[in-house]
Amino acid sequence: MITGSEQTLRLATRARALLSSPARTGGSRSRGTWVLTAVLAVGIAFPFIWAGDAYNLQLAGDALALGTWVMGLDILVGYTGLVPFGHAAWLAVGAYTFGYLAQQGWDAVPAIAVTVAIAAVLSLLMGLVATRAGGLAFAIITLAEGVVLYTLILHLGFLGGGIGLFGVPLPRIAGLNLLGSERNLYFFALALACVSYLVLKSLVGSPIGGFWRAIRDDRVRAQSIGIELQRYEVLAFVVAAVIGAVGGVAFVALNAGIGPSQFDWSQSGLALVILIIGGSSTIYGAVIGAIIYVFASNYLTSSFASTWQVYFGALFVALVLLMPGGVAGAIRLGSGRLRRRPA
């Protein structure tokens, strides 16, 4: 009997021999297309359904920004089997870099390009160190790296120091003020989320994604068939950081700033909570988890003030017990059962 790990490793072996376009099943392609179409339809319709409700648009935009940030984390946790405790650092790198460049009058497109480049270089250096260890050691190293970045940002006066970077102007696109309304800012966050999703979906469906899954399923066997573990783990680390930084771009554009409390080490735990709620190894589960977190926490804080964490903790435990694979996992399981039901 062939196990799931052996199947993944065989696919990875074939991928090494055929690094040109990998075969993808029609079902996988159609499911990905269906998910993207559904998300786009709901996402585009939302600001028109809630027309005039700037507050809910702000919450939805924040959910998209956080969802994009956590999409990157899913590459490490869900596809490569690495659990970092410093993912909040990449939200900060994206937000501070883009926010500072916006304050200097940069256009949005080159500012995003520079932000991505800085996140890629930093994550490459940090990933080379962190991936030399695995398991708990990897988690602790990433936590330490996150604290180093946090402390460094606090001591950079031109980034606001301990106060934070605020007063970020609305970014211009091609010199035009296209983001002058809450609705347009929401669509900006939606566009960044969709582009991030497409990039990640393309990667996990490529030979690289096969290598990541092989490493996740069995590191020893993956190494035995010739997969260079650190090479692909560092690549996953860089991809996760870059997408996390893109989430930071959306966040700072929506909120016109970022403070130190929004990227300390505890926020890395929040990213894991969001991913668990939404479901890992799906990419889109990150957005589902972020939507649930943002709207649930907003309702609970307005209803229960200082004790809202108690109720959210209870909600989190209930979701984990009822849906161990997250909301996306439950959706996938339900759709599979419907397909198997006889006519």
**pLDDT tens figures, 38-92:** 778 888 888 888 766 788 899 999 999 999 999 999 999 999 999 999 999 999 9
pLDDT, tens digit, 9 for 90 and up, residues 127-155: 999 999 888 999 999 999 999 999 999 99
User: Mind listing the pLDDT tens digit for each residue in 283-325?
Assistant: 999 999 999 999 999 999 998 888 999 999 999 999 999 999 9
User: Which of 332, 298, 258, 234 lies closest to 91, judged by CA?
Assistant: 258
Integer Cα distance of 300 and 159 in angstroms: 32
Mean of the pLDDT values across residues 270-292? 95
pLDDT tier at 261 (50, 70, 90 boundaries)? Answer: confident
In this prediction, residue 140 carries a pLDDT of: 95
What's the pLDDT score for residue 175? 85
Contact 164, 258 (CB under 8 A): yes
Q: How far apart are CA 239 and CA 206, in angstroms?
A: 14
pTM for this predicted structure: 0.89
- Mean pLDDT computed over 83-105: 96
Beta bridge partners of 122: none
Question: Taking the CB of residue 191, how many other CB atoms lie within 10 A of it?
Answer: 13
Q: What does the alpha-carbon distance between residue 44 and residue 58 come to, in Å, rounded to a whole number?
A: 14
Q: What contacts 61, CB < 8 A, 6 or more positions away?
A: 182, 185, 186, 189, 250, 254
Query: According to DSSP H, which parts of the chain are helical?
Result: 4-17, 26-49, 54-74, 88-103, 108-130, 135-154, 182-204, 207-217, 219-224, 229-255, 265-278, 285-304, 308-322, 326-340
Distance, CA of 24 to CA of 319 (rounded, Å): 32
pLDDT at 250 over 70: yes
Average pLDDT, the chain: 88
Residues 41 and 29: their CA atoms lie apart, in Å, by 18
Who has greater pLDDT, 46 or 340? 46
Among the listed residues 7, 27, 62, 17, the one whose alpha carbon sits nearest the alpha carbon of residue 274: 62
